Amino acid sequence: MRLILPVLISLACVLPAAAEVKVPQSQTEISLSFAPLVKEAAPAVVNIFANRVVQQSESPFRGNPMFEDLFRGFGLSQPRVQNSLGSGVILSEDGIVVSNYHVVGMATEIRVVLTDRREFEAEILLADQDSDLAILKINADTPLPHLSFRDSDDVEVGELALAIGNPFGIGQTVTSGIVSGLARSGTATGNARGYYLQTDAAINPGNSGGALIDVNGRLIGINTSILTRSGGSNGVGFAIPANLVARYVEQARAGNDRFTQAWAGIFGQAVDSSLAEGFGLSVPEGVVISSMHPDSPFAQAGLALGDIVLSVDGQPVNSPPEMLFRMSVRPVGDTIIVEYLSGGEIEQAEVSLIVAPDLPPRDARMVKGGTLAGLGVVNINPAVQSELKLPTAMSEGVVVTEVSGPLGRIGLRVGDVLLEINGETINTTADVEDASDTRGRNWRIDGVRGGQRFSYRFRI
């Protein structure tokens, strides 16, 4: 589990059935036990133990009450084994397991323990830090218990839900509650393709990667985080919707080791009350397009700057992460129906889902000699923008992909966009290599990092 302030801690998933979901109609129905449901679903929820090797500085002042804090981080970096504990959900009889990236990401060893105490080594098929999802594979001699997916778009606020996981490492635990909110974005860990189910079922550290199921035992979400100030459950937990999880499983089975996501090529912001007034909207809704790449599929479909995207495939979108989620649950190559407001009129357009084009060529180069030796750079294109999460406005120029030696020590970082070197404009990677041959002792590098200009001056 991860803590974030107000403190978000990472945490949940589904099973088969088809009975109609309904509100209990009597005290008899309310008092019915969840035991049969838990007995069927719980075997598909597993405990996960992961080990990873991290580098830790070993200080000669370690243990010294006077100098340990003063010289923290001083000394050589030493490898150390870090353990993590979480939960996972078996999604197929042949051993496909889903968990959170923060539980198993970068792990060197992963053990999956079933409720019957069988243990398996697991390998990672696909892991994505942004969405905090990881798809694993275990091999067993017999078919494994597993949960089936429910269409998470059908989930409604007020539905009963059970969270199953391994909180605090004490063993499998089941808590009950309701789905208390939908379309929560910007509240959970990871860049998260921005849409979470919210539940008041108690979720705690160790629940990460466990299942959130409905009253029919179907997976509606993977528990990923909680909102807390104390470190414990305060009844506000978040789960990654089953529809997005299913897309990850599909790509993992297809052999992808990275999640292939549709490229929007636009930057937008949620319409608040002030923007709604300016656009003449009766209520704040939608996402206004504030910047757009010339090759964006939205531009090709006829949308323009200032248009407000209202819905995708009939589902309302009220934040950029929610819009990205709607695109992520559809395969690349599909076409989505976008409803938008343009010039006061509501329009519809078909937008093709494409991967970010790797054109113009990135022309990757590594400077091998001169003052800039050890500097790796590429030309910016949509694919590079997507990989390095550069702002949409950064549609051209040169970005740093690797830095070592003196340039690393002065502060240059991966993701920095280079503007000038010694007063000469940098437009392509060839310009960087040419600049490295410049003679002189005084150097200056100007660029952009996180939307802010920077300038480094140094002597050689």
Is 132 one of the annotated active-site residues of the chain?
yes
* Active-site choice (131, 180, 208, 319): 208
* Active-site choice (10, 87, 132, 311): 132
* Active-site choice (84, 87, 99, 102): 102
Is 146 one of the annotated active-site residues of the chain?
no
Structure tokens, 2: 């991860």
In angstroms, the CA 293 to CA 267 distance is 9
Is 102 one of the annotated active-site residues of the chain?
yes
Nearest to 204 by CA among 235, 179, 247: 235
Active site residues: 102, 132, 208
